[in-house]
Amino acid sequence: MEKKEVAKTSEAEIAVHWKEEDLYYPSTKFIAQANLTDESVYDRFSLENFPECFKEYADLLDWYKYWDTTLDTSDAPCWKWFVGGKINACYNCVDRHLEKNKNKTAIHWVPELENERIQHLTYQELYVRVNEFAALLQDFAGLKAGDRVTLHLPMVAELPITMLACARLGIIHSEVFGGFSGNSCADRIVDSGSNVLITIDGYYRGGKLLDHKANADIAVEKAEKDGQTVDKVLIWQRYPGKNSSPTPMVDGRDYFVNDLLKDYRGKRIDPVPMPADAPLFLMYTSGTTGKPKGCQHSTGGYLAYVTGTSKYIQDIHPEDVYWCMADIGWITGHSYIVYGPLALCASSVIFEGVPTYPDPGRAWRIAEELDVNIFHTAPTAIRALRKVGPDEPAKYNYHFKHMTTVGEPIEPEVWKWYYNVVGKGEAVIVDTWWQTENGGFLCSTVPGMKAMKPGSAGPGVPGIHPIIYDDDGNVVPAGARKAGNICIQNPWPGQFQTIWGDRDRFVSTYFARYCKNEKSKDWRDWPYLAGDAAMLADDGYYRILGRIDDVINVSGHRLGTKELESASLDVIEVAEAAVVPVADEIRGMVPDLYVSLKPGYDPSPELAAKISQSLCDSIGKIARPRKVWIVPDMPKTRSGKIMRRILAAISNNKDVGDTMTLANPDIVDDIKKISQDMIEELKESKKALMKE
């Protein structure tokens, strides 16, 4: 296997100058109630006790049949966990709680409109609704174990209901983030080979009722063109019994779920005992090449891992009210809104809308009303909440015992605001580093046991053994004050099994870089490359610096630069495109798009707007560039490669460095001039505004 050149990360330079932060300690009150305070856990989960240590997590679940092999490495590096075991994820998240807790709230659903009351679904109600919908999926949609079905649902209770109904039957769900466009949804329908799409007529976002059904039409049409027929579109209703979308229904293809459900009232479907290594779901994520990767997650291993980490890292007890503000359309929502918390019989909050709408106090009113005590969000949301309402949390009577940050590195200043103002100095914080591919947390402090360090994720969680390699494969030791490529030495049960339909890409992306022997069936030879740069401090805490590949982390979500570039090439006038990350106060990183035009076309603000809109249409609003720069040509190497480093320097007002190796060094000044003109333009329009 050829070793790929790994991009150097500019963050590495920053890291060297990074100062060590002071430690913060959990309160005795927190420690007294914590699920895990026993230091011996690190011995129990040491590499000597691997892989059997993970039985401890699997034992948190109910199995139809125990496994014979804890870790099967015969198809390295496609690891299989708990082989021979039989389990059902829906049973573990719903049925098994009924005997003692059927009357307990499973889901608090918070509509965005404040004049609509919060809905509280008990475990019994969840059981009924999941069963009825499972019956519909089986009898009406004709779906069975192993089939894939695409979901394009926003933050409504029907999303976990749909996921759990699939899990009950062993159907592999593939949920596409609701904010993604119909086109993005189509690509995922095609890749997964789904012939059923489950969606909703509309939902609220920022005070507007969005027409979501329109996206389904776009998705189905594009999927058909790309060779995948969707014969049924099942549509939930934002207001049951009423159609909230102006988009017409397609006869014989589109069905309102609520109409169909009348035939399934009272139906019960036995959970299907699934092999532990049967896929539970696909979750698509961006990678270095254009096509999103369908991360395939297993049933037994995944559920064991998210349940274990929800218990010990999220410190969830059944009596907690737990609010993870992520979207279920991302991995965080799958693992830490739905599967982990429900497996532990917690009450999980699902919020439809924007946390700063209609005003900066909204999130804290929800926390107060539901008496939430565990809160989980991302730095991008924390920065936004701090910006619009730095003093809001103090006005509301809520008390968190525990808070999580996830999705991107958090600046120590932002961390301290989160700790002092949102957490009121009472809550512990875990900074959990992991990825779509991983199923659950990789690095984090165990909250009742370890001190917190602002900006650092912490050590590997029990059973995860990270290691940092430099580009030559040497280990970068603790305290070296040097960044390198963070890898995980060992497999773990939450790890994805493969990329759906593309095993070669799975091996080359994640394992080829540091594989010691490509024929080996021994897991020790296959370190997992996460694709992030990281540093290890003397005390064993990891600080994650960001991606080393062509992925931009916008508001904690990965966007492939190639995906954005190829989407902008769909605009007829565009000849070449390059996307670079720009630092942003709220969203962490945002894309800047550079394009050059085909001969015969002239730059104009209208064209720039059209290109920007086209990115939103093909990928979703999350991809909207900060700025579209229409440039006469791209800076290129003599072999014709676009020098993104130079464009990134211009966008971030940094020194462009040496340009003499370029084939066209003069272009750099031309582009800088355009940037200067743009700044002047911005200043002018600001002045004009001030006058008004």
Task: Return residues touching ligand WTA (CB under 6 A).
Answer: 285, 330-332, 406-409, 431-436, 457, 530-532, 544, 546-547, 553, 557-558
From CA 334, how far away is CA 175, in angstroms rounded? 9
Q: Which two tokens stand for residue 410?
A: 């958090």
Closest approach of Cβ 153 to ligand WTA, in Å? 18
- The residues, ordered by sequence, that sit 6+ positions from 385 with a Cβ below 8 Å of its Cβ are 355, 356, 360, 363, 392, 422
Between 483 and 668, name the residue whose CB sits nearer to ligand WTA. 483
Between 161 and 326, name the residue whose CB sits nearer to ligand WTA. 326
Helix (H, G, I), strand (E, B) or coil at 529: strand
Closest approach of Cβ 335 to ligand WTA, in Å? 8
Between 190 and 406, name the residue whose CB sits nearer to ligand WTA. 406
From CA 271, how far away is CA 268, in angstroms rounded? 9
Q: Which two tokens stand for residue 259?
A: 């109409």
Handedness of CA 375, 100, 163, 107 (dihedral sign): negative
Between 413 and 680, name the residue whose CB sits nearer to ligand WTA. 413
From CA 580, how far away is CA 646, in angstroms rounded? 9
Q: Which two tokens stand for residue 158?
A: 């029907």
Closest approach of Cβ 643 to ligand WTA, in Å? 23
Handedness of CA 157, 161, 164, 170 (dihedral sign): negative
Of 167, 159, 114, 116, whose CA–CA distance to 138 is shortest?
167
**Which residue is nearest to ligand WTA, using beta carbons?**
436
Closest approach of Cβ 340 to ligand WTA, in Å? 13
Between 91 and 441, name the residue whose CB sits nearer to ligand WTA. 441
| Residue 351 parent element (H or E) | strand 347-351
Between 379 and 625, name the residue whose CB sits nearer to ligand WTA. 379
Of 288, 155, 260, whose CA–CA distance to 564 is shortest?
288
CB contact at 8 A, 64 and 88: yes
Between 54 and 434, name the residue whose CB sits nearer to ligand WTA. 434
| CA 445 to mean position of chain CA atoms | 20
- Residue 199 one-letter amino acid: T
Closest approach of Cβ 330 to ligand WTA, in Å? 6
From CA 139, how far away is CA 87, in angstroms rounded? 23
Number of H helices and E strands in the chain, helices first, is 22, 30
Between 493 and 546, name the residue whose CB sits nearer to ligand WTA. 546
Between 223 and 534, name the residue whose CB sits nearer to ligand WTA. 534
Q: Radius of gyration of the chain from Cα atoms?
A: 25
Between 85 and 407, name the residue whose CB sits nearer to ligand WTA. 407
Between 264 and 330, name the residue whose CB sits nearer to ligand WTA. 330
The DSSP code for 430 is E
Closest approach of Cβ 31 to ligand WTA, in Å? 23
Between 238 and 557, name the residue whose CB sits nearer to ligand WTA. 557
Closest approach of Cβ 597 to ligand WTA, in Å? 33
Closest approach of Cβ 532 to ligand WTA, in Å? 5
Closest approach of Cβ 378 to ligand WTA, in Å? 8
Closest approach of Cβ 558 to ligand WTA, in Å? 5
Between 61 and 533, name the residue whose CB sits nearer to ligand WTA. 533
Closest approach of Cβ 451 to ligand WTA, in Å? 17
For 89, phi and psi rounded to 5 degrees?
Answer: -70, -40
For 202, phi and psi rounded to 5 degrees?
Answer: -165, 170
Q: Which two tokens stand for residue 398?
A: 């809520």
From CA 431, how far away is CA 429, in angstroms rounded? 6
For 260, phi and psi rounded to 5 degrees?
Answer: -70, -35
DSSP string over 21-35: PPPB---HHHHHH-S
Between 169 and 559, name the residue whose CB sits nearer to ligand WTA. 559
The DSSP code for 339 is I
Facing residues of 405 across strands?
Answer: 377, 431
In the sheet with 172-175, reading across from the earlier edge strand, the strands are 254-256, 232-236, 196-200, 148-151, 172-175, 279-285, 293-298, 498-499
- The residues, ordered by sequence, that sit 6+ positions from 24 with a Cβ below 8 Å of its Cβ are 419, 429, 451, 452, 453, 454
Cα dist. 16→11, 460, 468, 482, 534 in Å? 9, 21, 15, 6, 11
The DSSP code for 211 is E
- Residue 127 one-letter amino acid: Y
- The residues, ordered by sequence, that sit 6+ positions from 580 with a Cβ below 8 Å of its Cβ are 561, 591, 592, 594, 644, 647, 648, 651
Closest approach of Cβ 410 to ligand WTA, in Å? 7
Between 191 and 431, name the residue whose CB sits nearer to ligand WTA. 431
Closest approach of Cβ 309 to ligand WTA, in Å? 12
Of 101, 158, 100, whose CA–CA distance to 129 is shortest?
158
Closest approach of Cβ 409 to ligand WTA, in Å? 4
Between 212 and 558, name the residue whose CB sits nearer to ligand WTA. 558
Closest approach of Cβ 288 to ligand WTA, in Å? 12
Neighbours of 508 (CB within 10 A): 15
Closest approach of Cβ 14 to ligand WTA, in Å? 14
